[in-house]
C-alpha cells in the first residue's frame, strides 16, 4: 500500500469516526432514539407493522433493517412485521410507469398503511420527492413517521414524529450514520419487546 492510499483510508476513517462521535455526544440523539423505540414498540404491540422506504443505498438500508425485524437482530424471537417498500420490482415499475417515480412509495403507503403502523424513511438529501410524497400520505392516514436524513432536514421534518438528521453533507458518512442509528433503534425495539 502506498503512503497516499494509507492517508486516504485514514482520512475517511477519521471522518466516519467524527460523525459517529458527534452522534454519541449529542444528547438529542439518545432522546430521539428513545422516542422512536417507544413509537415502534407501541405500533407493534397494537398489531401494526413497520414500513420502510428509501432510494439507492437507502433502499438497501430499508431492506436490511426490515430483514432484521422479520428475521432476527441479536436474539432468536418471534418474527416482527416489517415491509421494505423498495423490493417489489413489479409494483415499483408499474407505479413508476403509470403514475411517475414520485409516487412509488406513496401508492404503497396508501395500499398498506393503517393508523397503528409506522413508516421509517431514509433520504440522505432530505429532499427525495418520492419520500416526501410517502410521508404526506402517511401523515394523512395518521401513521407515525420516523425519518433518517443528513443535516438538511428542513423539507422532511414537518412530516416526522422523530427526525434523525446525521450531522454531515457527505453521502457515505450520512449512510454510515443511518445504519448505526438504525441498528441502535432496532436493538432497542428488540430488547423492549423481548427482555431477558
127-179 tens-digit pLDDT: 999 999 999 999 999 999 999 999 999 999 999 999 999 999 999 999 999 99
Predicted confidence at residue 12, as pLDDT, reads: 86
Domains of the chain, first to last: 9-193 (3.40.50.10490)
Q: What is the pLDDT of residues 46-96, one digit of tens each?
A: 999 999 999 999 999 999 999 999 999 999 999 999 999 999 999 999 999
The DSSP secondary structure of 156-184, one letter per residue, reads TGGG-SEEEE-S-S-HHHHHHHHHHHHHH
Rounded Cα–Cα distance for residues 114 and 103 (Å) = 18
pTM of the entire predicted model: 0.94
Look-up of cell digits 401523515 = 139
Report DSSP state, residue 196: -
- Smallest CA-to-CA distance from 125 within 58, 189, 184 is with 58
Rounded Cα–Cα distance for residues 156 and 8 (Å) = 33
Amino acid at each position: 500500500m502506498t503512503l497516499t492510499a494509507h492517508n486516504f483510508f485514514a482520512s475517511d476513517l477519521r471522518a466516519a469516526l467524527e460523525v459517529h462521535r458527534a452522534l454519541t455526544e449529542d444528547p438529542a440523539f439518545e432522546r430521539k432514539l428513545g422516542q422512536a423505540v417507544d413509537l415502534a414498540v407501541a405500533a407493534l404491540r397494537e398489531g401494526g407493522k413497520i414500513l420502510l422506504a428509501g432510494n439507492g443505498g437507502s433502499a438497501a438500508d430499508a431492506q436490511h433493517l426490515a430483514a432484521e425485524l422479520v428475521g432476527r437482530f441479536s436474539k432468536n424471537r418471534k418474527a416482527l412485521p416489517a415491509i421494505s417498500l423498495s423490493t417489489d420490482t413489479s409494483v415499483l415499475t408499474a407505479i413508476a410507469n403509470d403514475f411517475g417515480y414520485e409516487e412509488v412509495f406513496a401508492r404503497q403507503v396508501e395500499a398498506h398503511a393503517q393508523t397503528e403502523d409506522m413508516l421509517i424513511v431514509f433520504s440522505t438529501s432530505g429532499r427525495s420527492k418520492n419520500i416526501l410524497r410517502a410521508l404526506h400520505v402517511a401523515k394523512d392516514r395518521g401513521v407515525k413517521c420516523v425519518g433518517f436524513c443528513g443535516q438538511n432536514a428542513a423539507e422532511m421534518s414537518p412530516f416526522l414524529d422523530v427526525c434523525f438528521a446525521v450531522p454531515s453533507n457527505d453521502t457515505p458518512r450520512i449512510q454510515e450514520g443511518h445504519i448505526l442509528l438504525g441498528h441502535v433503534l432496532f436493538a432497542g425495539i428488540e430488547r423492549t419487546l423481548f427482555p431477558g
